[in-house]
Structure 1
Amino acid sequence: MVEPKHYPGLNEIQVNESRALHGVNILTPPEKESLLTRFLEKFRDPLIIILLVAGALSIGISIYEYYGLHEGAAVFFEPLGIFVAILLATGLAFFFEIKADREFAILNQVNDDEPVQVIRNGNAIQIPKKDVVVGDIVILSTGEEIPADGQLLEAVSLQVDESSLTGEPVCAKSTDPAHFDKEATFPSDHVLRGTKIMEGHGIMTVTAVGDKTENGKVFEAAQIDDSVKTPLNEQLERLGRLISRASYGIAGLIVCVRMAMFFINVGDGFDWMTFLSFFLQTIMIAVTLIVVAVPEGLPMAVTLSLAYSMRRMLKTNNLVRKMHACETMGAATVICTDKTGTLTENQMRIYNTDFFALPDQRLGNDATSRIIEEAIAINSTAQLDLSNPDKATVLGNPTEGALLLWLDASGHDYRKIRETVEIIDELPFTTERKYMATEVRSQALKGKSVLYVKGAPEIVYGLCSSTESDVDKSTIDKMLLDYQNQAMRTLGFAYKIMNDDELPFSEGAIAGRDLVFMGIAAISDPVRAEVPDAVKECIDAGIAIKIVTGDTPNTAKEIARQISLWNENDNELNIITGPEFAALSDKELMERIDDFKIIARARPLDKKRLVETLQKKGEVVAVTGDGTNDAPALKAAHVGLSMGDGTSVAKEASDITIIDNSFASIGRAVMWGRSLYHNIQRFVLFQLTVNVVACLIVLFGAFMGTESPLTVTQMLWVNIIMDTFAAMALASLPPSQSVMQEKPRSRNAFIITRLMKWDIITVGGIFFIILLALLYLFHHTYIEGLDSMFPLNLSAEGHDLSPYELSLFFSIFVFMQFWNMFNARSFETRKSAFHLKGCSEFLLIACAIFFGQVLIVEFGGEMFNVVPLRFIDWVIIVVATSPILWFGEIIHLFKRS
């Protein structure tokens, strides 16, 4: 007989001392940045910084022009336009991220007032969870969440769901060293805060509270912002440096050349006032070139592209919380994924049953199915929540719940069976016995008492004297080996028809060894149906997949085999356990990390170390996870992907939440990211071509001594309004499945490819030559309409361009860019610019640009320095500039062929 144990617990003095020494049982919430700080962070973008410098210079020039040269207030349009562009780009990014935060609506808070049973001063009392201290004696019951880390003093049939920390849905806990699981992630006599008791009960003494618990360490690690730069951040920084160096270099060249020209022309008649006036004019031209060179629309284009993708990705079950994650997914080279709930359904299911035929002459017709149904329904501690007609939910032990789900799927209501059967006696499952038994007054066998036994097949078989249908042991052993090789859990079933005076149990065990073995059931957490295809899609796209799980090596390997990640060429170099992983030095890990496909028995910070090491090797890392244990890695990764039904801590640490928990949605996120990057490249191609042309015109005017034919407000329309529309048009292009056939781009690759560079230089140069020729014609002949230009009547002396000629030049310049937008849209797509399926937004915005230009010229007046054009001139401009599209189509057709 076991003597009952007495636990006096802590007294009030000891409680206060413990709280002072070890702290309170509350997870310290992360410090939240203020909205102002988050908004100001948007100004750290390299292109925004360049725009701020250009804007400051532009303000200085505008003030001089207004007060010194007594020009009109229109001189302030340029700096105003620049700062409008800055505020739009930063404001939109800030707005969409705040909006996503609110939509996300996930809190890290836990219910710290939840009642917990503890023993203090020799009495069992209830206290709030936040008041638990180290040294407290806590009473644990089925269904409760464990309030703190502790060591078990007692454990009766204790099964704990540790999936939120280790990925293990069921861990058997014991105080008997003989029954400890040596491969367990945490000791078998330890329980952890935030895990849940699925079955049994126990008593523990608290060893850690609050931030000192394993849950707290994970939570704290998840708040560390490693400030990992995304590939797009790095490439835009390089682009910003290139643009600033080029514009400052050319501006410096303008100053040097014009100063040299001044001193050559002035000869001996040097005058300080003339020099200062000429020098100031030169500085203004140089600043104008810098302002023109800086792509005001690019930050906004990137923001609009990301914001548009955020909204569209939500329709594919990807809730994007942080804007950069849209594009960064497209650069991913490695995905580190957990197993439970991500690759698998996180619900135990019957894979197969091998119930042997029961002889009719002994039990009567139809007894086979009825006795199996009764054995499963009655000899179980689980329940099903059937309130949702579309999906039954297991309450209690997941393994036993799988049997009830199988019964339910077969059309049998376990509740009705239980209601009609009288339970005589029962023996609960323990880790020592490894089986459970229930004696009932059977309805399947009317008027008979039947003992049902279920448990570990080898133990249950040892209690039997015969097997139904005379199946021999070698056949059963072969079945079990086959299931175990597939990392499945197996249960054995037996029964016995009891005599009236026969006792089923003796000294806490089955009395006798004369049961009949009924058969076995194989149970597994099945792989999600869509996962194998989704994993193949990612591998074909050049993305490496690594499984990081708290499960056993055999189980992890079997799951990897089922999703085609593990093949016959893999060996022990491709799998490692958490303790082995932790024992590797940083140098050893760097050498071996590429080989790893599986890390089994992993602890939370193993995954984070894996991510950080991969990042040091230049990989772009995405991490998937649904548990608290995944949070540090989710936070450290370039992109963290949490599951829709994951823990709030995991969701808070992630950048994207996969609402439908489907790994296939990750493939769609990669496709969106890659397509988005191509769309940004197309906009860079489009806008830099515009800027090259504009800069060359300013440069030409600087050396020829003439003013730019494009006014400040006209450049404002071209550089901001039109480019914003173009950004929206190119950002709205639908994703292409073909990008999944490409390999991930190099992290060090520049956003401007060699092909883009030559396209910008060639097209920009051609446009400049055409516009330069037009300027010459307009300067040397009087144009009253494009239909009356020919025959040309060029005069020897030039003249200042009339408002009508300037309006023609402005419109021709814009429509050349308009048609080039279509060429940019089809750049590197292997499709025609006229392939407009799914591009309704592009067409709508293209129409807005087209008619917007007409409206600006017809009604812009003095503000835009334009006068209305004749209808025939509009027709000629549209038709005469359209060959830009046709030539582009011919070149793309030649490339495709």
Structure 2
Amino acid sequence: MQTNHLTGLTDAQVAQSREKNGANILTPPKKDSLFKKFLEKFGDPLIIILLVAGALSIGISCYEYFGLGKDAGVFFEPIGIFIAILLATGLAFIFELKADKEFSLLNQVNDDEPVRVLRNSTTIEIPKKDVVVGDVVYLSTGDEIPADGTLVEAVTLTVDESTLTGEPACHKTIDPNDFDPDATYKSNYVLRGTKVMEGHGIFIVDKVGDATENGKVFEEAQIDDSVKTPLNEQLDGLGDLISKVSYAIAALIVVGRCVMYYFDPHFAETGGFFTVDFGAYLLQSIMIAVTLVVVAVPEGLPMAVTLSLAYSMRRMLKTNNLVRKMHACETMGATTVICTDKTGTLTQNQMQVAEANFYGDTPQAIIEEGIAVNSTATLDFSGSKPKALGNPTEGALLLWLNAAGKNYDEIKAAAPRLEELPFTTERKFMATIVKSAVTGKPMLYVKGAPEIVLGLCKNVAGNVSRDEIAKQLLAYQNQAMRTLGFAYQELASVDGVIENGKVNADNLTFEGIVAISDPVRADVPAAVKECLDAGINVKIVTGDTPATAREIGRQIGLITESDGKECVITGPEFAELSEGELRKRVGDFKIIARARPTDKKRLVEALQANNQVVAVTGDGTNDAPALKAAHVGLSMGDGTSVAKEASDITIVDNSFSSIGRAVMWGRSLFQNIQRFILFQMTVNVAACLIVLAGAFMGTESPLTVTQMLWVNLIMDTFAAMALASLPPSESVMRDKPRDRNAFIISRSMWTSIISVGGLFFAVLLGLLYIFEHSDITSMSQLCGLQLGARDSLTPYELSLFFTIFVFLQFWNMFNARAFMTGRSAFHFKGCRGFAMIALIILIGQVFIVELGGEFFNVTPLKFMDWVWIIASTSVVLWIGELIRLFKK
């Protein structure tokens, strides 16, 4: 069916259609209420334990208030517990809402995918969400169909309807005689969300948005963060280790306090173990132990990871990396091999005809007609200058015609198409039969890879020798130009000329060659060098000839003079390698030329079998298997919807340099998580040991339940926010890829955790002993100290101890921030978030001690005591600075 009469909708008709039928957007299903989401935060086992402990604490407080006549101060501790629980659950709730918002924004990207439509008699590109009922939409291989509609043109059109019907290859046609009576949907009907696997066509939209078949079964798309990466496994292992140790210490605390209660001189006077006093004491011991578990168990780790990933996802978009699947942020940091295509990634993807070399006396009209009718591309004239839509190589030919003052659309309309054989990567050519406006007879035009097209030809225009053609091709390819060969034949009849995917012609004449250039991007050589210096191997997989591919490799710095012929392999040679041979040689070659669709996926699997972490770039439908198989799939911003759907990250600007930025973010993200672990583990060591020692020393717990929960809030929530939001460092690109099997805590981290945590414990234990054996009312008294008999800790001493403990961790947070950076902890460029959170912790601690009163079991401190504490504990930071200076 000819479609030359189609003009598309006018602007007024578009507005009317949208008002009547709505926008082409799927309405997401109803979400859970905010209240229900908030209640889910209380499902954490540790929160449940604290809720139970808090309820029991209220019971004891009621007994003490009503039964024993104590004042209302007994209720402060249980109230403090519940407020701390609400703070923890509330913050988790807020962060989850923020993450949901980030993911929702990312999920809307698909609505902005460009679609080719005909409006006001002009072909233009619009976002998918702007498609309306009545629009005339063009389809090409690799496109995702934007709406439901009826075909008015279909050329060897095959559609993957597996998302709706489970059928991966449905033949579509407008010929009623070829309709499939058993098909789920009519053979001349296409559906939103399905994908064009082969051929091209035109359809008129019948339904959009929720009215489509896809809309009826739509479930809200979510970012896939369920992939179990090595980081997840390492964190799970670390969490299990810390949990088991903290549970053991918690049990020892309860046992230790019970033993010390037994040896207390007042044990017999109070009536032994079977009294209300002991019940209250046991409950207090259990609460201390449970709270210690809350402090020690790294429940902040998942939040730190989520925050790091969410922050990285948002910031990576500024470097043109649109992350679709959250785990890809971290996995990019472990990448050891990048398999990249050439066009658009290494080159500018701005195809232009560099040289047209047609032979002999081939009529110019024949050349022009062959280019115009044997093409699936179109030109968009809506802007200041024509823009090619569709295949960029074919678009370059149409732009070349347009620059010569020829209207390709008029030429195409004057030569009605009779049959067509579309281009495929297997055939490497396309053919079209038209009723020629030049000769008035059927004409066969063939265009494709020159060596393939020449092999189909009986004649060569101008009697140019095949050797001369081969030399010309080699010269073009050595300049990294893409070449196309052209042929034509006048036909007596069209019957059997195109049949079973083949061209049956015995008198084709080879017209000549067109060389099309696509210059290397200016930033690519530096970006490739950056990856190579970072220990990441780069391999090019391209359909170009070996000579063209090698020249591109040389221009970007991948191929050097020392590289022999073995670094380049062709698709057929690659296919002949056995699995064993491939695994042995896969590290040697840098380029696969004349690659076929299956080669890239096989390459990925061979590299993975050698324990490589593989990232793959791709922009075509045929790249989807490799994108899915890779650890990280990187689709191009102007790639097909099929490729984007299969990928983890979309490179918005198509540039290889953006891939290097993604690696830098991934490595920096992993280091941020390590810094958080370093910080929190140091806190855990100090807190667990001091509370355990206090239990066996027979003293009151030096840190109360509410105080430890505040410490937990600082260490888990605020520290996670501060350390997760640190900006990336370019220095990570000078390191080699990390070992994915290595434990997340490195030797240097273990050294720091044990030494610093142990030092904190020793200092705090010493202070505890001093406070018990002297009456301290000011920090200045520590200078001329005289120890006496043991006595209980005063509220002022407990406030001093609590504040010193917090500030030791506060200053150590700066050391953790500077860990592995090689810089001073005072380097705050790009770290305003860290400085702000540090200020919040500082002000929060002062506020709690000065105004917390019985609520936090503290009393206000003197001004000079604050000065003493802040100055003396800052020694932690100064020692860290000296160590970093010495190492530097």
**Does the CA-based 8 Å contact 1:85-1:296 persist in structure 2?**
no
Matched, 1:229 2:221: no
Shift of 1:668: 0.7
Matched, 1:100 2:103: yes
Q: Which amino acid aligns with 1:249?
A: A
**Does the CA-based 8 Å contact 1:427-1:438 persist in structure 2?**
no
Structure 1 distance, partners of 2:538, 2:397, is 33
Q: Which amino acid aligns with 1:871?
A: F
Q: From 797, 806, 809, give the equivalent of 1:817.
A: 809
Shift of 1:672: 0.9
Shift of 1:315: 1.4
Shift of 1:753: 1.3
**Does the CA-based 8 Å contact 1:308-1:732 persist in structure 2?**
yes
Aligned partner of 2:679 in structure 1 is 686
**CA separation of 1:272 and 1:193: change in aligned 2, threshold 3 A:** closer
Q: From 378, 383, 394, give the equivalent of 2:388.
A: 394
TM-score normalised by structure 2 residue count: 0.69
Q: From 715, 726, 736, give the equivalent of 1:743.
A: 736
Aligned partner of 2:190 in structure 1 is none
Aligned partner of 1:850 in structure 2 is 842
Q: Secondary structure at the match of 1:350?
A: strand
Structure 2 distance, partners of 1:536, 1:406, is 35
Spell out the pairing of 1:263-662 with structure 2 (5 A cutoff): 271-273=272-274, 282-338=285-341, 341-344=344-347, 348-352=351-355, 380-381=372-373, 385-387=379-381, 389=383, 392-394=386-388, 398-405=392-399, 412=403, 414-415=405-406, 463-465=460-462, 477-483=470-476, 489-490=482-483, 520-523=513-516, 528-546=521-539, 551=543, 554=546, 558=550, 561=553, 563=556, 565=558, 568-569=563-564, 571=566, 580=575, 598=592, 601-603=595-597, 618-631=611-624, 633-635=626-628, 637-662=630-655
Structure 2 distance, partners of 1:147, 1:234, is 36
Q: Which amino acid aligns with 2:696?
A: F
**Does the CA-based 8 Å contact 2:474-2:547 persist in structure 1?**
no
- Bigger Cα displacement from structure 2, 728-737 vs 473-482: 473-482
Q: Which amino acid aligns with 1:773?
A: G
Structure 2 distance, partners of 1:841, 1:709, is 32
**CA separation of 1:520 and 1:78: change in aligned 2, threshold 3 A:** same
Aligned partner of 1:513 in structure 2 is none
Q: Residues 4-41 of structure 1: CA distance to partner in whole angstroms, max 9, x if unpaired?
A: xxxxxxxxxxxxxxxxxxxxxxxxxx999996699999
**Does the CA-based 8 Å contact 2:155-2:420 persist in structure 1?**
no
Q: Secondary structure at the match of 1:385?
A: strand
Q: From 52, 72, 75, give the equivalent of 1:72.
A: 75
Q: Residues 648-687 of structure 1: CA distance to partner in whole angstroms, max 9, x if unpaired?
A: 3443444332222222212111111111111121122122
Structure 2 distance, partners of 1:632, 1:432, is 24
Q: From 183, 186, 196, give the equivalent of 1:194.
A: 196
**CA separation of 1:243 and 1:392: change in aligned 2, threshold 3 A:** farther
Shift of 1:737: 0.8
Q: Which amino acid aligns with 1:826?
A: A
Structure 1 distance, partners of 2:472, 2:616, is 37
Q: Residues 802-857 of structure 1: CA distance to partner in whole angstroms, max 9, x if unpaired?
A: 33x33333322222222222211111111112222222332233223223322333
Aligned partner of 1:712 in structure 2 is 705
**CA separation of 1:887 and 1:391: change in aligned 2, threshold 3 A:** farther
Q: Residues 297-321 of structure 1: CA distance to partner in whole angstroms, max 9, x if unpaired?
A: 4333333222222222221122233
Q: Residues 618-672 of structure 1: CA distance to partner in whole angstroms, max 9, x if unpaired?
A: 5444343334444455455543333222333443444332222222212111111
Structure 1 distance, partners of 2:82, 2:56, is 9
**CA separation of 1:82 and 1:813: change in aligned 2, threshold 3 A:** same
**Does the CA-based 8 Å contact 1:350-1:523 persist in structure 2?**
yes
- Count how many residue pairs are aligned between Structure 1 and Structure 2: 755
Matched, 1:891 2:886: no
Structure 2 distance, partners of 1:43, 1:679, is 30
Shift of 1:698: 0.8
Q: Which runs of 5+ in 2 are unaligned?
A: 1-25, 66-73, 112-127, 138-145, 162-168, 176-193, 203-212, 422-428, 440-444, 495-508
- Bigger Cα displacement from structure 2, 614-623 vs 765-774: 614-623
Aligned partner of 1:828 in structure 2 is 820
Q: Which amino acid aligns with 1:667?
A: G
**CA separation of 1:232 and 1:90: change in aligned 2, threshold 3 A:** farther
Aligned partner of 2:874 in structure 1 is 882
**Does the CA-based 8 Å contact 1:490-1:521 persist in structure 2?**
yes
Q: Which amino acid aligns with 1:319?
A: L
Aligned partner of 1:245 in structure 2 is 244
**Does the CA-based 8 Å contact 2:304-2:720 persist in structure 1?**
yes
Structure 1 distance, partners of 2:858, 2:728, is 39
Structure 1 distance, partners of 2:711, 2:88, is 12
- The sequence identity of aligned pairs, in percent, is 52
Structure 2 distance, partners of 1:77, 1:476, is 86
Structure 2 distance, partners of 1:600, 1:39, is 58
**CA separation of 1:37 and 1:641: change in aligned 2, threshold 3 A:** farther
**Does the CA-based 8 Å contact 1:575-1:596 persist in structure 2?**
no
Q: Secondary structure at the match of 1:523?
A: strand
Q: Which amino acid aligns with 2:274?
A: M
**CA separation of 1:686 and 1:592: change in aligned 2, threshold 3 A:** same
Q: Which amino acid aligns with 1:571?
A: E
Shift of 1:406: 5.1
- Bigger Cα displacement from structure 2, 379-388 vs 324-333: 379-388
Aligned partner of 1:771 in structure 2 is 764
Aligned partner of 2:861 in structure 1 is 869
**Does the CA-based 8 Å contact 1:304-1:727 persist in structure 2?**
yes
Q: Secondary structure at the match of 1:194?
A: strand
**CA separation of 1:374 and 1:464: change in aligned 2, threshold 3 A:** closer
**Does the CA-based 8 Å contact 1:317-1:659 persist in structure 2?**
yes
**Does the CA-based 8 Å contact 1:321-1:656 persist in structure 2?**
yes
Matched, 1:731 2:724: yes
TM-score normalised by structure 1 residue count: 0.68
Q: Secondary structure at the match of 2:681?
A: helix
Q: Secondary structure at the match of 1:89?
A: helix
Q: Which amino acid aligns with 1:194?
A: V
**Does the CA-based 8 Å contact 1:618-1:747 persist in structure 2?**
no
Q: Residues 777-818 of structure 1: CA distance to partner in whole angstroms, max 9, x if unpaired?
A: 333333333345543343334243133x33333322222222
Structure 2 distance, partners of 1:306, 1:767, is 31
Structure 1 distance, partners of 2:346, 2:861, is 64
**Does the CA-based 8 Å contact 1:779-1:800 persist in structure 2?**
yes
Shift of 1:747: 1.4
Q: Residues 563-604 of structure 1: CA distance to partner in whole angstroms, max 9, x if unpaired?
A: 5556734638966559948x967x887777656764965547
Structure 2 distance, partners of 1:591, 1:267, is 78
Structure 2 distance, partners of 1:462, 1:342, is 38
Q: Secondary structure at the match of 2:196?
A: coil
**CA separation of 1:230 and 1:40: change in aligned 2, threshold 3 A:** farther
Shift of 1:890: 0.6
**Does the CA-based 8 Å contact 2:849-2:860 persist in structure 1?**
yes
Aligned partner of 1:840 in structure 2 is 832
**Does the CA-based 8 Å contact 2:632-2:647 persist in structure 1?**
yes
Aligned partner of 1:179 in structure 2 is none
Aligned partner of 2:497 in structure 1 is none
Q: Secondary structure at the match of 1:688?
A: helix
Q: Which amino acid aligns with 1:561?
A: G
Matched, 1:695 2:688: yes
Q: Secondary structure at the match of 2:784?
A: coil
Structure 2 distance, partners of 1:844, 1:234, is 32
Q: From 784, 794, 799, give the equivalent of 1:807.
A: 799
Shift of 1:736: 0.8
Structure 2 distance, partners of 1:639, 1:315, is 19
Aligned partner of 1:125 in structure 2 is none
